[in-house]
Structure formats: structure tokens, C-alpha cells
Amino acid sequence: MSRKEHAGRGHGLHLLAEMAALLALVTLAGWFINTLRPGAEQRLVLSQALSWAGGGLVVLSILLFALRGQKPGDGLFRRIRRGVFRLTLLGAILLTCLVGGEVFLRWRAGWRPGGTALAQQTQATSNPYYFELDKAKIWNRRFYAARRDYFENWPIPLDFFESDKPTPRNLYKPGQSWTFKGNTLQKAGAGEHVDRAYNSWGFRGADFAVTRQPGTLRIVCLGGSVTEGICAEDATFPVALAKQLQERFPGCLVEVINAGHQGQGVDDLLEIWRQRVRPLNPDLVLFYEGSNDIYLRDYYTVPEGVASTKPRRTARLVQRSFLLRMIRDRMGEPNPLENAPPHTFNDSGTKPSAQHYKTGLTQLCQEIQQSGAQMVLTSFVTLAHPGLELQRSDNPAVYDFLHTTLAPLSADEIGRVYATVNRCSAEVAKSNHVPYLDVAAVFPRELKYFPFDLIHLNRDGNQTLARLFAEGLQREVLEQQGKSLRIRPDVRMMGLR
């Protein structure tokens, strides 16, 4: 090997050593900042300053590498050519590292090559939880035909059931267990951990006998994904509610069935009641939903000519990349939609979507009452409220959800939208003389209960919600007489069947 080749290799290794040392210093400083645990804003400022300083040092090292090794006798063209070659070589090395990092992060999150554009985009821009659950569903062919554009480029082969109406839009495949491997949902094999189990009725949870034992109180929780639960099998609020009611009423066998179905609105839940819940002859139906019938565009207008809330190309690129989003989160960069365009918010009167919800809920309430079961309505819990302040470092998923998915509305305005829906539920309860549990008024609106958006709850959040439901049901609906449990006669003249 010639002396020139030795010198070139020495310069390259020297540069790599410098960059490694700089990155190590930046990492060590970041660890030291987190150890000090200053406030969220201070930590954000420090991490930003550290990131820019580290980036500047790396860029300076690259420039020095391009200029290093130039001989006094070299002509200008030779110097430029040598510098361009070195920068190109270094750029190829860095690009290879970036591509490798992107592929590694995607693979760890469950991404696999060969999927359709929709599949890759979904995995790159959001939590693929809901998308993956479609593997466990059978779809209503009439709904599919009416919303064919929604299913364009769908990456999963769909199974269908026939119906004379488009509701419910889908049901879960009965008698199947599923497990998440990374972010990919697969059927659980023998001995494997089970993340989602659907019984013979297509409900989440263990199987149950259609004919109940004497003295059993059967409660069905009817709702959407919050009722179904986004957490482990034993961490949903119906499971916690069964345990808490059983502790309060040890002389009665309490059975709580989880009839939650992700993404279903009031029209879908009405059909699920007719087809899947009514045949079970429940004593009590606890309805917890409202979010899936909200249409945010009913509540605000954007002045004509004002720029759209659609992210810029650079923002969309960051959202699609696992690596760039990780870097952005570490740097604490502000969300591109944080400064939302001006809009006019209006929650006065009853909006079309709220009226539709109210009409459907009234029909559902009347049918449940006519069946002999007791209907119980509730308010719907959300983290959104006036004065909610979030930093990306607190919870990047919730922060992005608020500032992108729900833009341009503020947390205060989102809270007012949910308050409108809750007023509709309260009015339906009053007009139909059924109990109403206002759990939203007392649920602690703390970020620790909401893992990735403003409504879905983790294990602790579901435990808290179940406790509030148990207290409300005991106070407003149920009473204890000795060792027997019955529905209060002033609420409904019936005992346990």
C-alpha cells in the first residue's frame, strides 16, 4: 500500500473517530440532562441546544475532512475534485447508515417489505393497532359496497357476511385468539401469549353460558374501542367492573360481558344489540360511547382563502419516517401544525352529527327498555379540557394526536365538543327515565391514564373508570337486601330472572 493510500485511510479513520467521539459526548450530555430531571420546558430547551451544537460539530468535522490532505502544489481543479470525492464518499456512508437505521426501526415495529402502499403508510404514520385488528374482523358486504373508496388498496384480504343493511359495519370472528408480534397481529398458537381473545359470540373475553345460573346478575357493556379495550385481556374496564361489583355484592354472582366493538357508532351498536346482545337476556346494559359519532367539521369553519391544515411536504416526510420522527422527538422540535390557521368554533345548538347520535341513542334506549333490561347511560371521558398543556416530551403520541389529527381545534374546544355529546346523552336519559352516570365530571383528567390519544385508557385508567361505574351502579341502580342483589324497584320493577 502506498504512502498516499496510508494517508487517505488515516484521514478517514481520524474523521470517523472524531464523529464517534462527538456523538458519544452528545449522548453522555443528554443522559446527564435527563439525570438532573429539570422541568419539561427546561429539558426541551437543553436538548434542542445540545442537538444543534452536536450537529454543528459534526458538520464542521465533515468540512475539515473535505479540506484535509490538500497539498500546496495541487491545482484548484485537483483540490475541488478531491474534496467532492471525499464528500461523496462520506455522504454515501451516511446515507447507508440512515437507510439501515430506518429499516431497523421499521422492522422492529412490525414492518415487512412487499406490503401495499396503504399498509406501509399506516405503519409509518400511526399506531397500527386499529389497522391490524381488521384481521380479526368480518365485514358487512353492504357497508363495503357503500364505502368502496375507503377500502382502496386495502392490504388485508377481507372476509364478509351478508346483511340487508350496512350496519353493523363489521363483527369479530368468533372463537379466535390473537397475539401481537411487534406491531403485527397474528393468530396465537398453542402456548403463546394471547393479546386478544374473542369468544363464541364474537365478544372479547372468555366464553359464557347463554342460560344463566339462578341468582346471576348479567350486565352487558355496549360501546366502541374504549369499552372493548386497547390493553391486555385482564385490563379492560368490563373485567375490572365485574371484580369490583362482585366485591361489593358477594352474595350474588355478577357476570359482565364485554360487547365493545372498535370503531362502531350508535347505528352499528343498535344492530349489535338486536343481533348479539338481546338474545342473551341481560338484566342491565351499560352504554359507554359517543366518540365515534362525532364529526368535528360540524363545530368549526375556516375562513375562505386561509391555508389548509394539511402538513407541508417536509412535515409529511417526517411523519412517514420512523427514524426522522425519532430524531424529531429527541430534539423536541415543535409540531408543524402547532400554530393552526384561524378558525371559528361554534358549539351552540344541536349539530347534525349530535342530532343523529341523539336519535339513534333514543331508539337504542327504547328497545333495550322494552326488552325488559335496564338501560344505563353515561357521560364519555376525555383528557381534553381548558388549560391542558402538553409538551412533546410528556407524551409524543398524545401531543401529535392533539396537534395533527384534531387540528385546528384546541384542547378546550375538543372538550366542549365532548361536552355537547354528553349533554345529548343526559337529555336522552332524562326523557326516557333511565339512570345517567356522569363519570366524566369526576374522572381525573391526568395524562398518565391516556397512552396515545385523548380517550383510550390504559390499565390504571380502566380501573378508575370501573370504580366510578361500580359506585354509580350501586348508588343509582342496584341495592343489596341481605345476601341478594336486585335492581332497585323505583328504577325498574323487575328482579333477577
Q: What is the pLDDT of residues 381-410, one digit of tens each?
A: 999 999 898 887 888 889 888 988 888 899
The number of residues making up the chain comes to 497
Ranking 33-37, 204-208, 247-251, 293-297 by mean pLDDT, the lowest is: 33-37
Assign 422 to helix, strand or coil: helix
User: Is the pTM value of this prediction over 0.85?
Assistant: no
Q: At what angle do helices 40-67 and 3-36 cross, to 10 degrees?
A: 170
User: How does residue 319 score in pLDDT terms, banded at 50, 70 and 90?
Assistant: low
* CATH T-level assignment (fold) for domain 207-302+343-487: Rossmann fold (3.40.50)
Q: In Å, what is the CA distance from 366 to each residue of 168, 275, 375, 430?
A: 19, 16, 9, 12
Assign 85 to helix, strand or coil: helix
User: How does residue 221 score in pLDDT terms, banded at 50, 70 and 90?
Assistant: very high
Cell numbers for 399:
401531543
Mean pLDDT of the region 234-245:
96
Collect contacts of 137-144 with beta carbons under 8 A, ≥24 apart: 137/170, 137/171, 137/172, 137/173, 138/170, 138/171, 138/172, 138/173, 139/169, 139/170, 140/166, 140/167, 140/168, 140/169, 140/170, 142/166, 143/167, 143/169, 143/170
Report which residue type is found at 100.
G
Nearest to 487 by CA among 336, 410, 374: 374
Delimit the domains of the chain by residue range.
3-108, 116-198, 207-302+343-487
Residue 217 and residue 269 in contact, taking contact as beta carbons nearer than 8 Å: no
What is the percent of the chain where pLDDT is above 90?
48
Q: At what angle do helices 313-320 and 117-125 cross, to 10 degrees?
A: 90
Q: In Å, what is the CA distance from 132 to each residue of 180, 198, 232, 233, 417?
A: 9, 15, 16, 17, 29
